[in-house]
Every structure is written in structure tokens, then in C-alpha cells.
């Protein structure tokens, strides 16, 4: 059968993912299935069925926070991947502060990364946001510091990709979130990326807006 409509292509892709997961003997918990499948759909990488970890109730907390809430990303690439129709349906918004002049200035003065400073800037403006990190380990490390200092974001999505400080930053923010009661979704190991961070955001947005069926988005 030839698939030409986007909704049909996505629906068949998700069916293939479900079949391959079953063939691998992987049964996803109902609460987290939409997020895991969306990550696999974005990457064609079934490792996400095992390396994505969730604190208890993280998906529900993230979906609830996005009804009229805010997403903060660490890259404009991730920001571009967040579904604008889903944001509008929920009265939500998404932002990235990496290129803001104030962030650039502060980072230069302090001798730290813009990613770390952008976390501080976002905390000033949207302290209860969903923070989605797909690129910068220093953003996750700063989030861990802020959480340990009393900050309480609605959810932390930790999915930076790479080799330097990546695994350590994920472990650090996971520990901080668990100890301080902050919901978290973390892609352990080296894998991740802006696309994965956006995919997780979209799974939460679609869940909150009742748009998991791609036909509902047409």
C-alpha cells in the first residue's frame, strides 16, 4: 500500500514501531509509551525504549504544565521543532534565550556558556516552565544547581547529545530532580539531540491537547 497523506504515514510508522517493540519483547508502560514512541519515530533508534527514564508521574505533570504553560529550549533548533498548532491549542508558548543580547553579555562577563546563563534568564521570566535540553550539558548542570538551590521547574527534559559532560550532566540532573521532587524525563547515555528534545515536548503537547492521533492534527 502506498501512503501519501502525512497522517497515514505517521500512523503506519507508529504501527511499525509498535510491532518492532513487541518483536523485541518490549512492553512500554501506558503512561510513557507516547513519549518513547515519539522519540523512536524521530530517530528510528529503538535504544530510546531503554535509555529514556521517567520520574514517577513525569508525563502527566509535563502535560498538565503545558495547558497554558511555557516550554524553554536550549537551542533554536529544538524550538523550531516544537509544534506550533499544539501550542496554540493549549494556549502555551515556547522560547529559547540563547541568542538574546542580555544572555550573550552575561555569559561573556562571567566567562561561562550562554546555555548556563540562558537557564538563569529563563528562571527569571518563566520559573515554572518545562525546560527541554537537547544540546548543552552546561544547561543541565545549571538546572541541577538551580533546583538544588530551590528552583522548581514544572519538568526537566534532559537529552543532550555528545561525549563531553553529557552522561555526567544527565546523571546529575536526574539525581537533583529525584531528591527535590522535580519531574524529569532523561535520555541516559550519549544519545539525544535537539530533535529528541522537541519530540518529547511534542508528545507531551499532543497528550495534553488530545492530538496523539495524527488525523486530529490535520
DSSP string of 131-146, one letter each residue:
EEESS-HHHHHHHHHH
User: What pLDDT does 3 receive?
Assistant: 59
Query: In 98-119, which positions are buried (b, 16+ CB within 10 angstroms) versus exposed (e)?
Result: bebeebeebbeeeeebbbbbbb
95 carries an active-site annotation: no
Residue tagged active-site, from 37, 38, 41, 121: 41
Largest CA distance in the chain: 59
**Burial (0-12, 13-18, 19+ Cβ within 10 Å), 95:** middle
Q: Is 198 helix (H, G, I), strand (E, B) or coil?
A: helix
CA 24 from chain centre, in angstroms, equals 25
pLDDT-based confidence at 90, cuts 50/70/90? very high
| Residues 6 or more apart whose Cβ sits within 8 Å of residue 129 | 65, 69, 70, 71, 72, 122, 153, 154
The CATH superfamily label for domain 6-217 reads: Cobalamin biosynthesis CobH/CbiC, precorrin-8X methylmutase (3.40.50.10230)
pLDDT-based confidence at 4, cuts 50/70/90? confident
Positive or negative: CA dihedral 199, 193, 87, 218:
negative
The ranges assigned to domains in the chain are: 6-217
User: What tens digit of pLDDT does each residue of 102-114 get?
Assistant: 999 999 999 999 9
Q: Is 56 helix (H, G, I), strand (E, B) or coil?
A: coil
CA distance 15 to 81: 23
**Statement: residue 1 has pLDDT above 60:** no
Helices (runs of H) and strands (runs of E) counted in the chain: 11, 6
CA distance 126 to 71: 9
User: What tens digit of pLDDT does each residue of 6-26 get?
Assistant: 888 999 999 999 999 999 999
Amino acid at each position: 500500500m502506498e501512503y501519501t497523506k502525512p497522517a497515514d504515514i505517521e500512523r503506519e510508522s507508529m504501527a511499525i514501531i509498535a510491532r518492532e517493540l513487541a518483536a523485541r519483547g518490549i512492553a512500554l508502560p501506558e503512561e510513557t509509551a507516547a513519549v518513547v514512541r515519539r522519540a523512536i519515530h524521530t530517530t528510528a533508534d529503538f535504544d530510546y525504549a531503554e535509555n529514556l527514564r521517567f520520574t514517577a508521574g513525569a508525563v502527566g505533570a509535563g502535560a498538565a504544565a503545558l495547558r497554558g504553560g511555557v516550554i524553554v529550549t536550549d537551542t533554536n533548533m529544538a524550538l523550531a521543532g516544537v509544534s506550533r498548532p499544539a501550542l496554540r491549542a493549549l494556549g502555551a508558548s515556547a522560547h529559547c534565550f540563547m541568542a538574546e543580547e542580555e544572555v550573550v553579555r552575561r555569559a561573556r562577563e562571567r566567562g561561562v556558556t550562554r546555555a548556563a546563563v540562558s537557564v538563569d534568564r529563563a528562571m527569571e521570566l518563566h520559573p515554572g516552565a518545562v525546560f527541554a535540553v537537547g544540546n548543552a550539558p552546561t544547561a543541565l548542570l545549571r538546572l541541577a544547581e538551580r533546583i538544588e538551590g530551590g528552583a522548581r521547574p514544572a519538568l526537566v527534559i534532559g537529552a543532550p547529545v555528545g561525549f563531553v559532560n553529557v552522561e555526567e550532566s544527565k546523571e546529575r540532573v536526574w539525581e537533583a530532580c529525584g531528591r527535590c521532587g522535580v519531574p524529569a524525563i532523561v535520555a541516559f547515555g550519549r544519545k539525544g539531540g535537539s530533535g529528541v528534545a522537541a519530540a518529547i515536548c511534542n508528545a507531551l503537547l499532543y497528550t495534553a491537547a488530545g492530538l496523539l492521533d495524527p488525523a486530529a492534527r490535520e
